[in-house]
Chain A
Amino acid sequence: MTGTFGEENLMRLRTVLAASAASIALSAAAQADGYRIGITQNNVGVDSYQTTYEQAFIAAAEADDGIEAVVLDAGGDVARQIAQIEDLIQQEVDAIIIWPTNGEAVIPAVRKAKKAGIPVIVTNSNIAEQGFDFIASFSGPNNITQGARAAEIMCDKFKDMGIAGEAQVVHITGQPGYTTAIERAKGFEDRLPEICPDVTVLDTQPGDWNREKAQTVMEAFLTKYDDIDGVYAGDDNMGVGALNAARAAGRDGIVFVGATNFAVGYEAMERGDYWGSIYQSPVDDAEAALQTAIDVLDGKDVPLLNYFDTPKITQDNMGDFTKPVF
């Protein structure tokens, strides 16, 4: 009797496993004798940029018959990402692309890949300089430049408004520990005093790349500070969260500047609520990463820092850019 029960249960487990396996089974790409490239991403699904990036990466890999892609996601967990790198080394892929969850913690794992003779391409946000010896190339935006450009957009706007002498801004950063967040913050904080020395940064808090979190942070700022002239958010997702908080509190006249122009940011710019951002396409980002990996494997000369351009976008020039799809 008990034996039957156990068997039934094992069957049930097996069905669960089989069903889930079948539903997600990636249609194993044509087994061409090309390159097998593994990618471990930071946290797909946490925001639309990363989701679009993954879709664009898979599409680009499928479009190329010579490429077989093993697409993994660390879910924001450093330990899981390191395990994934170890697994990819174990599977003897031809190249590994990493979107680091922590720009320093992955360095030893990257060294392991290099020791195993597998070239590593870092995508989107770079690892710390100590790790540069072990990577073939970094493909992504220059986040320090992005932060600096955001400071310029904000300063120019303050000058137009004639408040560059006394404006006060608050700063919402991305996920703590994340190189992109640190670099953008640094670019902004270094550049702003150079061009607008009289503008003060009142406060800096992390919004974790999350719109709701950024809205909560902004609500706290609005309660704490009576006079806020500008908000710099590490991306548009958080910028729009902050904008929502300001509108709910009935506080007008605040200049919002973000980065990584999202559709929500673009729409808010069309409405005139949101001033500017940095235009960065996840499709360009994903395609650049894959192309960099292919170039490295083809033996081409690839620069260590392989940046793609990310221009300024404001209400004034937004007509030159198509609305982001994410």
Chain B
Amino acid sequence: MTPGKLSTYLKNGAIWGFILLELIFFTVAGQFLSLSENAFMDAGNMLLLFKQSAPIGIIAMGMTIVMVNGNIDLSVGATYALSAVVLLDAMTWPVFGGLGDWVIPVACLLAVLTGTVLGAINGLIVWKTGVDAFIVTLGAMLGYRGLVFMYNGEQPTSHLNWTLVDFAEAQFLGLHTATWVLLLVTAAIWFLMNKTVHGRNAHAIGDNREAAVNAGIRVGPHMMINFMIIGALAALSAVVFYAETGSVNPNDGELYELWVITAVVLGGTKLSGGAGSIISTFGGVLAIQLLRKGLAHIGADTSTVNLVIGLILIAVLLLDRQLNVKGKEALKI
């Protein structure tokens, strides 16, 4: 086994090793520190872990594609909130008055459509102007959030539909609805990235944009499609979450972009593009939720949780850089 292979193996496996470490740590620490009588690894608790990972996780899948492309999307939190507003408000529109509970799928579709359109706007601007995605989506983050506030002022937008709540709370084969959506999205994006031309192109563009252009890949439209995918997924995430709560604050979803990016980076995706794995992103999402849940389990407060996640993110980036340096050295030999 060459050092290069070993470091690759370590990089890909690191997130799962980290998750295992978290599980062991919180199980042991929970024995001494937790006020709960249930074990941390209790089956019900683990099922909740998946469910609570869903809102960030669904968006993280889209973020992985965009980041593999060498772009970033900071507007996902605002897209999430605006789609949620459309979802909940659409259910009260008189146009759909005669639909009864059939308004639910219509409202869900409208919400996802909203997210897709917002993503398309980002993608189109990045494509046609060539401005860095960071700047474009930073503007979109502020702009879309502004739209959320314009929609209903400072008030929350609310519509509690118990049919929808019951659907969201349902458990099929033990897994919650939100978990199923997360798993299906993960499977779909994994397929897209690993088994299709689009996925191969995404890696090629992120690796070397010029070479990709020379190879005849239509980079602009490709990126726009990816921004539409992440927009749709941010909206889908909102559908999954707000189906169960029925009320959106105008400032909901703030900082989601940062949690999502943290999860993706923890999963090993490069900020510079070209490399990233859907399965590892899934691991990154679980690792963050596990950390939040575990620290709460042993009685840490919210600020400590944020501090620890921040420290771990920096540690992971340092580790990542070390491993990459080693990999390059190995190539020279």
B1-43: CB near A (< 8 Å → 1, else 0) gives 0010011001000100110010001000100111111100010
B292-326: CB near A (< 8 Å → 1, else 0) gives 11011111111110111001100100010011001
Q: In the complex the two chains form, is B7's CB within 8 Å of A105's CB?
A: no
Chain B nearest CB: distance from A23 CB in Å? 8
Q: In the complex the two chains form, is B296's CB within 8 Å of A87's CB?
A: yes
Chain B nearest CB: distance from A314 CB in Å? 28
Chain A nearest CB: distance from B242 CB in Å? 8
Q: In the complex the two chains form, is A86's CB within 8 Å of B48's CB?
A: yes
Q: A25-B298, A90-B48 are in contact. Are A2 and B10 (CB under 8 A)?
A: yes
Q: In the complex the two chains form, is B247's CB within 8 Å of A105's CB?
A: yes
Report chain A residues within 8 Å CB of B293.
83, 87
Q: Write 25 A-B pairs (CB below 8 A) sorted by A numbering.
A: A5-B322, A6-B14, A20-B300, A20-B308, A25-B33, A28-B32, A73-B302, A74-B302, A75-B303, A78-B249, A82-B245, A86-B52, A87-B48, A90-B45, A90-B48, A92-B38, A102-B247, A104-B158, A104-B245, A104-B246, A105-B158, A105-B247, A108-B245, A177-B251, A181-B154
B268-303: CB near A (< 8 Å → 1, else 0) gives 000000000000000000000000110111111111
Q: A20-B308, A104-B160 are in contact. Are A73 and B301 (CB under 8 A)?
A: yes
Total residues of chain B contacting the partner, CB 8 A: 66
Chain B nearest CB: distance from A319 CB in Å? 37
Q: In the complex the two chains form, is A21's CB within 8 Å of B245's CB?
A: no
Interface stretch, picked from A11-19, A278-286, A288-296, is A11-19
A79-108: CB near B (< 8 Å → 1, else 0) gives 110111011001110000000011111111
Report chain B residues within 8 Å CB of A24.
299-301, 304
Report chain A residues within 8 Å CB of B322.
5
Q: In the complex the two chains form, is A14's CB within 8 Å of B246's CB?
A: no
Q: Which of B224-257 contact A (CB under 8 A)?
A: 241, 244-252
Known: A16-B312, A24-B300, A108-B160. 20 other contacts (CB 8 A): A6-B17, A14-B21, A24-B304, A28-B33, A36-B35, A44-B302, A45-B303, A75-B302, A79-B241, A82-B245, A86-B48, A86-B52, A87-B293, A91-B35, A103-B247, A106-B245, A112-B169, A176-B149, A177-B154, A206-B154
Chain A nearest CB: distance from B228 CB in Å? 25
Chain A nearest CB: distance from B23 CB in Å? 12
Binding site for B on A (CB under 8 A): 1-3, 5-6, 9-10, 12-14, 16-18, 20-21, 23-26, 28-29, 36, 44-45, 68, 70, 72-75, 78-80, 82-84, 86-87, 90-92, 101-109, 111-112, 128, 130, 173, 175-177, 181-182, 206
Distance between Cα atoms of A130 and B246 in the complex (Å): 12
Q: In the complex the two chains form, is A91's CB within 8 Å of B37's CB?
A: yes
B155 interface contact, C-beta 8 A: yes
Distance between Cα atoms of A24 and B298 in the complex (Å): 9
Chain A nearest CB: distance from B261 CB in Å? 17
Q: In the complex the two chains form, is A83's CB within 8 Å of B252's CB?
A: no
Distance between Cα atoms of A68 and B311 in the complex (Å): 31
Distance between Cα atoms of A88 and B319 in the complex (Å): 36
Report chain A residues within 8 Å CB of B312.
13, 16
Report chain B residues within 8 Å CB of A112.
169
Report chain B residues within 8 Å CB of A18.
25, 29
Chain A residue at smallest Cβ distance from B302? A75
Chain B residue at smallest Cβ distance from A76? B251
Report chain B residues within 8 Å CB of A102.
156, 245, 247, 249
The 5 closest A-B pairs by CB, nearest first: A176-B154, A104-B247, A177-B249, A105-B245, A177-B156
Q: In the complex the two chains form, is A16's CB within 8 Å of B315's CB?
A: yes
Chain B residue at smallest Cβ distance from A204? B154
Distance between Cα atoms of A44 and B300 in the complex (Å): 13
Q: In the complex the two chains form, is B7's CB within 8 Å of A2's CB?
A: yes
Report chain B residues within 8 Å CB of A181.
154
Q: In the complex the two chains form, is A108's CB within 8 Å of B38's CB?
A: no
B147 interface contact, C-beta 8 A: no
Report chain B residues within 8 Å CB of A105.
156, 158, 245-249
Q: A87-B296, A108-B169 are in contact. Are A20 and B304 (CB under 8 A)?
A: yes
Q: In the complex the two chains form, is A21's CB within 8 Å of B10's CB?
A: no
Report chain A residues within 8 Å CB of B139.
none
Q: In the complex the two chains form, is A107's CB within 8 Å of B326's CB?
A: no
Distance between Cα atoms of A90 and B36 in the complex (Å): 9
B165 interface contact, C-beta 8 A: yes
Report chain B residues within 8 Å CB of A86.
48, 51-52
Chain A residue at smallest Cβ distance from B7? A2
Quick one: which of B35, B155, B244, B323 has the most chain A CB within 10 A? B35
Chain A nearest CB: distance from B325 CB in Å? 11
B70 interface contact, C-beta 8 A: no
Chain B residue at smallest Cβ distance from A3? B6
Q: A12-B315, A78-B245, A86-B48 are in contact. Are A104 and B156 (CB under 8 A)?
A: yes
Distance between Cα atoms of A292 and B205 in the complex (Å): 61
Q: In the complex the two chains form, is A70's CB within 8 Å of B35's CB?
A: yes
Chain B residue at smallest Cβ distance from A38? B35
Q: A13-B21, A84-B296 are in contact. Are A182 and B37 (CB under 8 A)?
A: no
Distance between Cα atoms of A83 and B244 in the complex (Å): 12
Report chain A residues within 8 Å CB of B45.
87, 90
Of the residues A45, A90, A107, A177, contact of B250 by C-beta under 8 Å:
A177
Distance between Cα atoms of A36 and B37 in the complex (Å): 10
Distance between Cα atoms of A177 and B114 in the complex (Å): 22
Q: In the complex the two chains form, is A16's CB within 8 Å of B155's CB?
A: no
Q: In the complex the two chains form, is A2's CB within 8 Å of B3's CB?
A: yes
Report chain A residues within 8 Å CB of B6.
2-3
Distance between Cα atoms of A119 and B44 in the complex (Å): 20
Chain A nearest CB: distance from B241 CB in Å? 6
Q: A5-B322, A9-B315, A105-B247 are in contact. Are A21 and B38 (CB under 8 A)?
A: no
Q: In the complex the two chains form, is B25's CB within 8 Å of A83's CB?
A: no
Report chain B residues within 8 Å CB of A91.
35-38
Q: In the complex the two chains form, is B299's CB within 8 Å of A26's CB?
A: yes
Chain A nearest CB: distance from B136 CB in Å? 27
